[in-house]
Amino acid sequence: AGADEAAAPPRGKSEAYDQARVAVERALEKSTKRATKRRRSSGRAVGKPARLAVELPVNDDSDAALIEMATGTLGDGARDATAVFGRASAAKLAREMGSAMECVSVDDAWTAADAAARDGIIALVGVPSDRVEAAMRKCRAGEGRPTVCVNVEWEHDGDGGLAWSMSRQQAGVDDAAPSDVEAFANSFVVVYSFLPLNIQASMFASSLEGAVFKCVRGGAPAGTPWRILVKEKGAFAQVGAMQRRPQQTDLEAALYNSIAAKSPVNEAVGKASGFFRGLMNKDK
């Protein structure tokens, strides 16, 4: 499908991995082309390597599932990649399984000399929110290599730090330099996100299955919206879209409007309004 064609939500785990892999590959390809063009014009290496993020649904939190998620997302890129796992047990199991990736835990010693042995992706896999600084040190050791977050556990807006910078400005603290860790945590751009949601709509006495979905297929990631989906008759239907990551209030508003529009009361009101408009037109 073309870059301007919206992707359909994945129907299973393997399709989600494939969509995430293609999103990462296309983003890295674009980043490489841009860096090459700048290098040719300036005669030297310029620009920062890509920092991307993917967010995948998790039904199994085991080490084996974490490894499968990383290899599925990286695809052929796994051969020259370093996977930095949030759990030492996952890194150990991946090595025992003979993974093509170099596998370390976020707390392992890993120097610039170690990092120089490969030049592919550094994948931060399932790194918890209290290990951001350790993850940052790994990326600094591998300076110049692209980084891809795979289901990291710290919160960020997924726009490379734009919303974070704006919130700092609004709070009047933008004159003070942020910490390196804070800047690093907010520096990633989401190119793929599929996060299923279970929504209890108590006021309508109903339960809904929904999802937030973003899949960049080309062009600038900011140009691909975050879509709010609700499952209807076994298939997802879009009930909202935003250029920024939806917050809880955004999800509630989109789902409320979707449910309200389909409620029997509103349908009856709509039909009555149409009937009265018809009568008024006849009177004219």
Q: For the segment 228-271, what is each residue's pLDDT rounded down to a tens digit?
A: 999 888 899 999 999 999 998 888 888 888 777 776 655 544 44
pLDDT of residue 273 exceeding 50:
no
pLDDT of residue 36 exceeding 60:
no
The residues that bridge with 102 in the sheet, in sequence order, are 82
The values of phi and psi at residue 227, to 5°, are: -100, 135
Average pLDDT over the chain reads: 86
More confident residue, 277 or 187: 187
Return d(Cα 202, Cα 117) in angstroms, integer.
55
Return d(Cα 122, Cα 89) in angstroms, integer.
18
pLDDT of residue 82 exceeding 70:
yes
Q: Which residues contact 164 (CB under 8 A, 6 or more apart)?
A: 156, 157, 186
The pLDDT confidence band at residue 1, using thresholds 50, 70 and 90, is very low
The pTM of the full predicted model, rounded to 2 decimals, is 0.86
Q: Which residues contact 86 (CB under 8 A, 6 or more apart)?
A: 105, 106, 124, 125, 126, 127, 128, 131, 152, 153
Burial 114-136 (b: 16+ CB within 10 A, else e): bbeebebbbbbbbbeeebbebbb
- pLDDT tens per residue, range 88-131: 999 999 999 999 999 999 999 999 999 999 999 999 999 999 99
- Which residue blocks in 149-197 are alpha helix, DSSP H? 162-170, 180-185
Q: What is the pLDDT of residue 169?
A: 92
Planar angle of CA 248, 250, 255, nearest 5 degrees: 95
